[in-house]
Chains A and B, each alone.
Chain A
Amino acid sequence: MDELKKRAKELLETGAVKVVIGYEQGTGNKTRAAFIQKPEEVSRLIFDSRCVLNLAVYLNKPEVKQIGKPAIVAPIPVLRAIIQLASENQFTDDNLLILGITPESKFVEFNKLADVETYLDQHLIEIEARDKEILEKLDKMSVEERWNFWVEELSPCFKCYACRAACPMCYCHRCTVEMNQPQWISVPSHQLGNIEWHFMRAMHLAGRCVDCNACANACPIAIPLNLLTKKTLEEIKVSFGGYKPTLTGGHIMSTFKPNDKENFIR
């Protein structure tokens, strides 16, 4: 951590960046995002296993952009999100500096996005055994049982949209749920509205979700939303050979070849 702090301090002192987005101690045992703008404040930076918020979510926030060029403290899920966002033209090498954190909590600075992309080849997305087990259990259910599982899990949702707000990939200025001409998604948080919302969101993240769990961590009532996106990751493995964030990669849900088979349309 000392190395990270030292580098963050240098970057702010030399004016190479205007803000370092990192983690700091929060209330009780919580950690939170820190926006360090003065070199003398780098001592606030921390990193440990509690730092699970995906900081990439702040890179598109207007107020954060207005501060100026940021450096971002980036453990693996943040690195993945950065590459995915870069592939969606959200930023380039010129407007972002990346202070990487390895799974061993070591500091590693990346000079350019391409280096992050290469680095991530050693850290492919792997769904945790515990979650795999749940997905397998869901797979084995009958359609009716699975439907009931999701009705039960999603029915308490009151649509605070914390899942969307915490997701770095949910940066649309106007989300589908907010479209009202026509209205695609039922707004009330009744059974249909909740199911439409969460299934739609999972589909929009298919082939983009970096499996950071930010959505499920953000949910105030602990709905296991990430099971939906994990399932899309599994499906993509079967149908498209898997997903990894790449700078030039085509996007699974928005690329096609003229000779693609269309035998899934029945």
Chain B
Amino acid sequence: MSTDKRLVKKTSLDKLFDSIKQQGKTIFAPKLKNGKVNYEQVERFSDIATDYIQTTQSAKVVAFPRTEKILDYTKSKEGIAVVEIDLQSISEVVIWGVRPCDAAGFLPLSAIFNWDTKDIIYNTRLEKTTLIGFSCNKCDESCFCTSVAGNPGGTEGSDMMLTQLGDNGDYLAEIITEKGKTIVDKNPDLFETAGEIDKQKYLADVPVKFNQTEIKDKLANFFENEIWLQQSLRCIGCGACASVCPTCACFDIQDEEHGKRGSRVRCWDNCGLSIFTLHTSGHNPREYQSQRWRQRILHKFSYMPERLSVYGCSGCGRCSRACPVDMNIIEHLTAIQEA
């Protein structure tokens, strides 16, 4: 559908929030805690954080929780009785205040969860999620959406995108999907007709830092290069980058057993951890951190565009911000392009 444009008064924003809430939807929105802004279940409009560039964690948790029970089992003489996750029990969720890079992150994530076997649980969660995006009117030194085909007002992935027209202005609402249209239909009074509005001038100016196509081409013959060791010397091998990344999809399956009963749980995993590739034999094909760092970059900027036709990065910059040792991805990708 072509994008329908409406105007939402600044003073109507809380009414829109309340109305969605009243329809029984769970709303996740950026909230401040311990000095960090993260998506949390929010009950009141006034609890939503306003002054922040980006949440520490990505919105992917809504469709791909950090830990989720996928089935219960009971062992007996007759065999193993399995009760799978009840997809009906997954509730309708609205994520309020998604940044364009976060919404765009769901595209590579969905590509991974559907490249072979369709992941019913992930797909159901995403189907039941409505993304209300907010354009960025400011950015920081870690932002690089414009280097990975995104932009601070990008609508890709969002169901509705709101752009504030000036510091204290009203909001331009772009209705992108049927889910977005449903919100408008249920709140016709809050969405006024918008004239011709150029949102571009209200958006943050995110400078282009590198060319991802050039990087992809470079990486095709870059497996053996000393740069991986140079760049990763200070990497301490934690999983902060992957945990906050909107497109990292690796998971581990754990069986939590108590006597004859147990649950099968899907948990996030991290390719930066040495145990990620450790074989039962004790052999580890990615023995060194440099090999793990190379994997992270190659996966996102070479393997994914090659196999899934989508880059595994939306330029949100979370990995750089969360890194305890300042592994700056813009700096590293730029160095790779220039190498």
From A60-68, A140-148, A244-252, the one touching the partner chain is: A60-68
Kindly list chain A residues whose C-beta atoms are within 8 Å of the C-beta of B240: 160, 162, 218, 220
Could you give, for residues 218-253 of chain B, a 1 whenever the CB lies within 8 Å of some chain A CB and a 0 otherwise? Answer: 000000000001001110111110111000000010
Kindly list chain B residues whose C-beta atoms are within 8 Å of the C-beta of A221: 34, 36, 38, 56-57
- A28 in contact with B229 given A53-B324, A166-B324, A189-B267 (CB within 8 Å): no
Could you give, for residues 180-201 of chain A, a 1 whenever the CB lies within 8 Å of some chain B CB and a 0 otherwise? Answer: 0000001111100100000000
- Does A87 count as interface, using CB distance less than 8 angstroms? no
Which residue of B141, B229, B233, B243 is within 8 Å of A160 (Cβ)?
B243
Name A88-123 residues within 8 Å CB distance of B. Answer: none
Nearest-CB residue, chain B, relative to A53? B325
Kindly list chain B residues whose C-beta atoms are within 8 Å of the C-beta of A186: 254, 256
Say whether B66 contacts A222, CB under 8 Å.
no
Say whether A62 contacts B236, CB under 8 Å.
no
How distant is the Cα of A138 from the Cα of B270 in the complex, in angstroms?
33
How distant is the Cα of A246 from the Cα of B288 in the complex, in angstroms?
31
How distant is the Cα of A200 from the Cα of B317 in the complex, in angstroms?
32
> Nearest Cβ distance between residue A32 and chain B, in whole angstroms?
4
How distant is the Cα of A125 from the Cα of B326 in the complex, in angstroms?
27
- Does A35 count as interface, using CB distance less than 8 angstroms? yes
Kindly list chain B residues whose C-beta atoms are within 8 Å of the C-beta of A26: 326, 328
Which residue of B236, B267, B268 is within 8 Å of A166 (Cβ)?
B236
Kindly list chain A residues whose C-beta atoms are within 8 Å of the C-beta of B232: 63
Kindly list chain A residues whose C-beta atoms are within 8 Å of the C-beta of B56: 220-221
> Nearest Cβ distance between residue B266 and chain A, in whole angstroms?
8
Kindly list chain A residues whose C-beta atoms are within 8 Å of the C-beta of B273: 161
Could you give, for residues 24-48 of chain A, a 1 whenever the CB lies within 8 Å of some chain B CB and a 0 otherwise? Answer: 0011101111110000000000000
Kindly list chain A residues whose C-beta atoms are within 8 Å of the C-beta of B238: 160-162, 164-166, 218
- A158 in contact with B268 given A26-B328, A27-B320, A190-B67 (CB within 8 Å): yes
Say whether A158 contacts B233, CB under 8 Å.
no
- Does A133 count as interface, using CB distance less than 8 angstroms? no
Which of A58, A193, A220 has the most chain B CB atoms closer than 10 A to its own CB?
Answer: A220
> Nearest Cβ distance between residue A191 and chain B, in whole angstroms?
10
- Does B148 count as interface, using CB distance less than 8 angstroms? no
> Nearest Cβ distance between residue B196 and chain A, in whole angstroms?
38
Say whether A218 contacts B265, CB under 8 Å.
no
- A63 in contact with B290 given A32-B325, A189-B67, A221-B57 (CB within 8 Å): yes
Kindly list chain B residues whose C-beta atoms are within 8 Å of the C-beta of A222: 34-36
- A30 in contact with B288 given A161-B239, A165-B237, A221-B56 (CB within 8 Å): no
Kindly list chain A residues whose C-beta atoms are within 8 Å of the C-beta of B67: 188-190, 193
How distant is the Cα of A193 from the Cα of B256 in the complex, in angstroms?
11
- A30 in contact with B326 given A190-B67, A222-B34 (CB within 8 Å): yes
Kindly list chain B residues whose C-beta atoms are within 8 Å of the C-beta of A63: 229, 232-233, 288-290
Kindly list chain A residues whose C-beta atoms are within 8 Å of the C-beta of B34: 221-224
Say whether A220 contacts B326, CB under 8 Å.
no
> Nearest Cβ distance between residue A248 and chain B, in whole angstroms?
29
Kindly list chain B residues whose C-beta atoms are within 8 Å of the C-beta of A28: 140-141
- Does B275 count as interface, using CB distance less than 8 angstroms? yes
> Nearest Cβ distance between residue A228 and chain B, in whole angstroms?
16
How distant is the Cα of A146 from the Cα of B85 in the complex, in angstroms?
33
How distant is the Cα of A28 from the Cα of B140 in the complex, in angstroms?
10
- A32 in contact with B236 given A189-B67, A190-B67, A222-B36 (CB within 8 Å): no
How distant is the Cα of A165 from the Cα of B243 in the complex, in angstroms?
14
How distant is the Cα of A27 from the Cα of B330 in the complex, in angstroms?
10
How distant is the Cα of A166 from the Cα of B323 in the complex, in angstroms?
11
Say whether B236 contacts A165, CB under 8 Å.
yes
- Does A57 count as interface, using CB distance less than 8 angstroms? yes
- Does B331 count as interface, using CB distance less than 8 angstroms? yes
Kindly list chain B residues whose C-beta atoms are within 8 Å of the C-beta of A15: none
Name B282-327 residues within 8 Å CB distance of A. Answer: 287-290, 320, 322, 324-326
Which residue of A27, A35, A217 is within 8 Å of B234 (Cβ)?
A35
- Does A2 count as interface, using CB distance less than 8 angstroms? no
Which residue of A27, A30, A35, A193 is within 8 Å of B233 (Cβ)?
A35
> Nearest Cβ distance between residue B128 and chain A, in whole angstroms?
22
- Does B142 count as interface, using CB distance less than 8 angstroms? yes
Nearest-CB residue, chain A, relative to B278? A178
Name B38-65 residues within 8 Å CB distance of A. Answer: 38, 56-57
Chain B interface (Cβ < 8 Å from any Cβ of A): 34-36, 38, 56-57, 66-67, 140-142, 229, 232-234, 236-240, 242-244, 252, 254, 256, 265, 267-268, 270, 273, 275, 287-290, 320, 322, 324-326, 328, 331
What are 7 A-B interface contacts by the 8 Å CB criterion?
A33-B234, A63-B229, A186-B254, A220-B243, A220-B322, A221-B38, A222-B35
Known: A161-B239, A221-B36. 14 other contacts (CB 8 A): A27-B326, A33-B325, A53-B324, A63-B232, A158-B57, A159-B267, A160-B238, A162-B239, A166-B236, A186-B256, A189-B268, A190-B67, A218-B324, A220-B322
Top 10 nearest A-B pairs by Cβ distance?
A218-B324, A165-B238, A220-B322, A162-B238, A32-B326, A188-B67, A26-B326, A160-B239, A165-B236, A160-B243
